[in-house]
Amino acid sequence: MKLLVTGIFILLIFFAPSINAQPFFAVSAGISKDLNNKKTFYAAPVTFRWKLFKHSGFFIEATNEIGFNRLTHADAYTANAQLPEHVVLTEKVRPSAFSMGIGGAIRLYTNKKNNQLTLNLSLGICDEYFAISYRNYDKVNYEVLNPDVAKDFSGVYAAIAGVYNFHKRKQDMFIMLRLQSPSSAGPGDRYVLSYDQTAPVQLTFGYNLFYKKL
């Protein structure tokens, strides 16, 4: 089954009808929301896509997600009789992710103005890192109960995106709605954290930069 899916994916990448019959770079930025955590993460994604060939939808993509801090509360305690036994701290979790992969674009619709709606499918490798810090944490005297710790996840991801390409004042622009799966990285150990890998749904706006006019 996996082999079949992989085969279809490869065929799509190389033989899908081309979206624009010329190679281009596409750069976009926007906002993303994570769908994989109860306490959700938000990030600012910057995406780069390079369509290499004239007559194929094949592309190489790279995405950098610059995460915003997620603030929650944590409890810290001390056995030291000179200090209050319990304090509430603010926990800051900051994700960041970089992913790189290959994919194919399938043209779904083209209108009279040559604006296009395409479906992009991609696979690649993702590295996601979560940085943890506690605000005003007296590490010498207090211990955080069930603390979160920094963690790195690396693995394979799959993504699906709807891209609407349009023109305005001789500029080629696009809006992209993209959903990326969490990476295939396992949990590593049995320690339970308050966060898991993200599955970002990204809404970005950007430009197609054609570098070889036909």
Partner 1 sequence: MKYFNRLHLSFIPLFFLTTCHSWNFYADPDDKGLSRFTSRGYNIATSYINGSPFRNIGLYYPLLQKDSTGNSIDTLKFTWPLYPNDLPNRSAAYDNISFLLPVPATFTKNDFLTFNGHRFANSIPVILRESSSKSISGIASLYFVSISENLASPDYRYLKLSGLFDGKIGDSVLITKGRFDFEVGENGLNF
For the record, the structure tokens of 112 come out as 């009279």
- Closer of 3 and 81 to partner 1 (Cβ): 81
Segment 185 to 204, residues that bind partner 1, using CB under 8 A = 189-192
What is the per-residue binding string for partner 1 in 133-172, x denoting contact by CB under 8 A?
A: ------x---xxxxx-xx----------------------
Helix (H) or strand (E) holding 4: helix 2-15
Give the up-direction half-sphere exposure of residue 46: CA atoms within 13 A in the CB hemisphere. 5
Judge whether 105 and 163 are in contact, CB under 8 Å: yes
Radius of gyration for the alpha carbons in the chain, expressed in angstroms and rounded:
22
- Closer of 60 and 193 to partner 1 (Cβ): 193
In 3D, which of 155, 30, 166, 55 has the Cα closest to residue 105?
Answer: 55
d(CA 163, CA 176): 4
What is the per-residue binding string for partner 1 in 65-104, x denoting contact by CB under 8 A?
A: ------------xxxxx---x-------------------
Residue 214 interacting with partner 1 (CB under 8 A): no
- Closer of 143 and 152 to partner 1 (Cβ): 143
Residues forming the site for partner 1 (CB under 8 A): 77-81, 85, 139, 143-147, 149-150, 189-192
